[in-house]
Structure 1
Amino acid sequence: MRFYREILEGRDAGSDAGKSTHMLLNLQVLRALAASSVVIAHALHETEMLAAATGRAAVDGSAWNLGFGVDIFFVLSGFIMTHTAASEFGKSGASLRFFLRRCARVVPLYWLLTSIMLLGALAAPSLLAVPVGSISHVLASYFFIPSGRGVDEVRPVLALGWTLNYEMLFYVFFALALLLPIRLGIVWLSVLMVGMALVGNLVDQSHVQIAFWTSPIILEFLFGVYVALIFRSGVRIGKGIAFGLVAIGLLGFVHISTPWNDAAFPRFLRSGLPAALFVLAAAIGPVLPHKRLVLWTVALGDASYSLYLAHPFILRPMRALWAKVIGGALPLGLFVVFSTLAAALLALALFRGVEKPLTRRVQGVVLGSARRKRRSTGVLPAVDTESA
């Protein structure tokens, strides 16, 4: 918290690090918003089951597209990767360094929570709505390979990990793009991903992996890449334009009409473009005021990966506890509020106590030699936007 406050109060003013940190603060607030929207969406779903058990009316969230948080995450991922690795294009060993760095960031917590899910399935299989599946499905889950689970559902053991299957695909493509100079690398990446999205319309859905990886949703990563290029070009906007972009971006959070929700209007346009406007406003707009609420939201943004992956571990027990202890005594809207707050507190604790130290340890093993070599040459790291 002190670090963010010092930067916001103007220390390091005018430096590249200060500018990057200002941008990072805005993006971390956006990450907190994205993760929270996913949590609220799942909490609303839990009220449907609580309604049957308590006699209270479920909270109707049909007017809201709270899964929009995932689209924001995908655009943010494309932005962060491009921004942090822009100087690495064409450099020897850059592809491997990038890929190992991302794996060290994403894999440890996901593998840990997947393993806890498996142990829970062995101890109390009745608690899972969907069976874990075969050994091959479990292995596919650990190695980010799309695999069928249940009936017509392509989800890993830890269901929320479906987004990481797309993330890992993007990491592979981006690592390959780093073999080239930046302009050529971005062109290659763009042609590849647009081509795959076009091919996806022709793929038989029975080919699970190919159909999954060629979904047009992968274009949302590409939106983030181009937002990063706009940011790096030096373009900046004032409060008025930034507010306008955010206002338009809010359309991604609502179900406007039947045609807006129809499958004929693809998700990468319906939700991806509004998400890109959010990220663009956060990146090139003015920094948010350094109020206490903003700093707390930044802290939740830091813990957004923990919040995203771990919130089912708090929502489901709270649903059972609510049904048993509170029943129909309180409206289920309060369940959404309390469970969301509980998930946020769990995420903050998990980030500080598990995710952060675990990631550092893995990074020390995987990237230790490269870092020691950089220190020996006197090269100091820039502001760490890699945690975003």
Structure 2
Amino acid sequence: MDSHQNAPGSRIAGGDAGKSSRVISNLQVLRALAASSVVVAHAMHETASLSDAAGRVPIDGATWNLGFGVDIFFVLSGFIMTHTAAAEFGKGGAPLRFFLRRCARVVPLYWLLTSVLLLGAAIAPSLLNVPIGDASHVLASYFFIPSGRGIDEIRPVLALGWTLNYEMLFYVFFGLALILPIRLGIFWLSVLMVSLALIGNVVSPQQVQLAFWTSPIILEFLFGVYVALIFRSGLRIGIWPALGMMAIGLLGFVRFSAIWEDDVLPQFLRSGLPAALFVLAAAIGPALPSGRIVVWGIALGDASYSLYLSHPFILRPLRAIWEKFVGDQLPLGLFVACGAITTAIFALALCRFVEKPLTAFVQGFTRRLGRPKAAGAARAPGADTESA
């Protein structure tokens, strides 16, 4: 919510190159779709403020579940972790290597943008919807610990980081599962996560961290784990079955009033299962045909972590500019389109010139920490894999 991101953006590389190369373009385009849906949802939210100033009817997004992108990110995360780390199950030092790689991938950009937000709050606090919390809340935000913000809201300083609080929890559990052989590790990972979800559903804990971490939404990561196992089994389908699964998955983007409330169907079912179908179809279906749209989709998928975390920094100033210089002269739908395009361009630049160099620098440091002491020790397959 990385997720994150997603669940939040990542790249897939390394591992079993033969298996990964067939699916990489599909998943990257899916990442772009997921991140873009979150951007559009937030851009539509900004039009609520613009509508008053422009004297126009706000865009009604009640029919669409554009936050569905977060569910896709969570399933993708479970898939990618399992597929790329499959060869490390049961190996000495695997949990530490895995967790250091994940921190090197997720932490740098998140800490950087959190710090930028804190600086901005000090300079222009009026731009924030919710004031920055106290020092303990700020510290908890940096270390992915759920903490209350405002009234009945458990979000970090950089609000979108709520998804990363779930991501880090999953990384800890997955890292522990790497101690065991893959079948046993996946079994106990499943038992642990299902047990936590049951605790959250049956006990309804009041303590902030426990209430957050026992949400059944964590089962969406587990869906991704099992999608990865299906993919690694060698099962493949043709274009029409894949399109059929995608069509069912698209239902996750639509709100059905009869089943949409949590007391009828919880999120991990109403959104998590369609997201799992999306990822499964992308993984075992045929590769997308080459073309300019697909190339741009892959590029945006590569930058999806930057897009997910940075888009509020663009949408809020863009709203202020639009309100001052455009007003009621153009339809609000055009603001959403401009916001989506502007944030995508910014994310591509941020990924290339900030995220990738910063991540590479930190990865070099963490690799030295996690490297076996024995001289000439071979690096495990997937050691350079990046995902979120």
Structures share fold, TM-score greater than 0.5: yes
- What secondary structure does 2:176 align onto? helix
* Shift in alpha-carbon separation, 1:372–1:190, aligned structure 2, 3 A: closer
Displacement of 1:385 in angstroms is 4.6
Aligned to 1:78: 78
CA distance in 2, matches of 1:124, 1:110: 21
For residues 171-227 of structure 1, the C-alpha deviation after alignment (integer angstroms, 9 at most, x for no partner) is 000000000111110000001100110000134453111010000000000000000
Q: Which amino acid aligns with 1:181?
A: P
* Shift in alpha-carbon separation, 1:371–1:290, aligned structure 2, 3 A: farther
Aligned to 1:315: 315
User: Are 2:213 and 1:213 equivalent residues in the alignment?
Assistant: yes
In terms of mean alpha carbon deviation, does 196-205 or 284-293 score higher? 196-205
> What does 1:18-37 correspond to in 2, within 5 Å?
18-37=18-37
CA distance in 1, matches of 2:200, 2:379: 43
Aligned to 2:124: 124
* Shift in alpha-carbon separation, 1:212–1:361, aligned structure 2, 3 A: same
Contact 2:179 2:185 (C-alpha < 8 Å) held by counterparts: yes
Q: Which amino acid aligns with 1:233?
A: S
CA distance in 1, matches of 2:382, 2:196: 34
Aligned to 1:42: 42
Aligned to 2:9: none
> What does 1:187-266 correspond to in 2, within 5 Å?
187-266=187-266
Contact 2:16 2:381 (C-alpha < 8 Å) held by counterparts: no
For residues 295-326 of structure 1, the C-alpha deviation after alignment (integer angstroms, 9 at most, x for no partner) is 11000000000000000000000000000000
Contact 1:104 1:359 (C-alpha < 8 Å) held by counterparts: yes
Aligned to 2:144: 144
Displacement of 1:169 in angstroms is 0.2
CA distance in 2, matches of 1:34, 1:374: 42
Superposition TM-score, scaled by structure 1 size: 0.93
* Shift in alpha-carbon separation, 1:116–1:276, aligned structure 2, 3 A: same
Displacement of 1:384 in angstroms is 5.5
In the alignment of these two chains, the number of paired residues is 374
Aligned to 2:272: 272
* Shift in alpha-carbon separation, 1:188–1:378, aligned structure 2, 3 A: closer
Aligned to 1:107: 107
* Shift in alpha-carbon separation, 1:209–1:203, aligned structure 2, 3 A: farther
CA distance in 2, matches of 1:381, 1:186: 19
* Shift in alpha-carbon separation, 1:262–1:172, aligned structure 2, 3 A: closer
Contact 2:84 2:382 (C-alpha < 8 Å) held by counterparts: no
Contact 1:24 1:385 (C-alpha < 8 Å) held by counterparts: no
* Shift in alpha-carbon separation, 1:352–1:206, aligned structure 2, 3 A: same
User: Are 2:342 and 1:362 equivalent residues in the alignment?
Assistant: no
CA distance in 2, matches of 1:374, 1:253: 50
Aligned to 1:10: none
CA distance in 2, matches of 1:295, 1:302: 11
Aligned to 1:341: 341
CA distance in 2, matches of 1:134, 1:238: 54
For residues 73-129 of structure 1, the C-alpha deviation after alignment (integer angstroms, 9 at most, x for no partner) is 000000000001001001000000000000000000000000000011111111111
Displacement of 1:54 in angstroms is 1.1
* Shift in alpha-carbon separation, 1:257–1:179, aligned structure 2, 3 A: same
Aligned to 2:67: 67
- What secondary structure does 2:259 align onto? helix
Instruction: Give unpaired runs (5+ residues) of structure 2.
Output: 1-14
The answer to which structure has the higher helix fraction is 1
Aligned to 2:161: 161
- What secondary structure does 1:242 align onto? helix
Contact 2:87 2:380 (C-alpha < 8 Å) held by counterparts: no
Aligned to 2:3: none
CA distance in 2, matches of 1:276, 1:299: 23
Displacement of 1:368 in angstroms is 3.4
For residues 322-367 of structure 1, the C-alpha deviation after alignment (integer angstroms, 9 at most, x for no partner) is 0000000000000000011000001000000000000000000111
Contact 1:21 1:383 (C-alpha < 8 Å) held by counterparts: no
- What secondary structure does 2:386 align onto? helix
CA distance in 2, matches of 1:258, 1:61: 17
- What secondary structure does 1:130 align onto? coil
Contact 1:137 1:156 (C-alpha < 8 Å) held by counterparts: yes
Aligned to 1:291: 291
- What secondary structure does 1:260 align onto? coil
Superposition TM-score, scaled by structure 2 size: 0.93
In terms of mean alpha carbon deviation, does 345-354 or 250-259 score higher? 250-259
CA distance in 2, matches of 1:21, 1:66: 29
CA distance in 1, matches of 2:372, 2:338: 45
For residues 19-69 of structure 1, the C-alpha deviation after alignment (integer angstroms, 9 at most, x for no partner) is 312211110000000000000000000001100111122111111000000
Contact 2:59 2:333 (C-alpha < 8 Å) held by counterparts: yes
User: Are 2:52 and 1:52 equivalent residues in the alignment?
Assistant: yes
Aligned to 2:10: none
* Shift in alpha-carbon separation, 1:23–1:326, aligned structure 2, 3 A: same
For residues 216-264 of structure 1, the C-alpha deviation after alignment (integer angstroms, 9 at most, x for no partner) is 0000000000000000000000001100100000000001233234433
Identity value in percent: 72
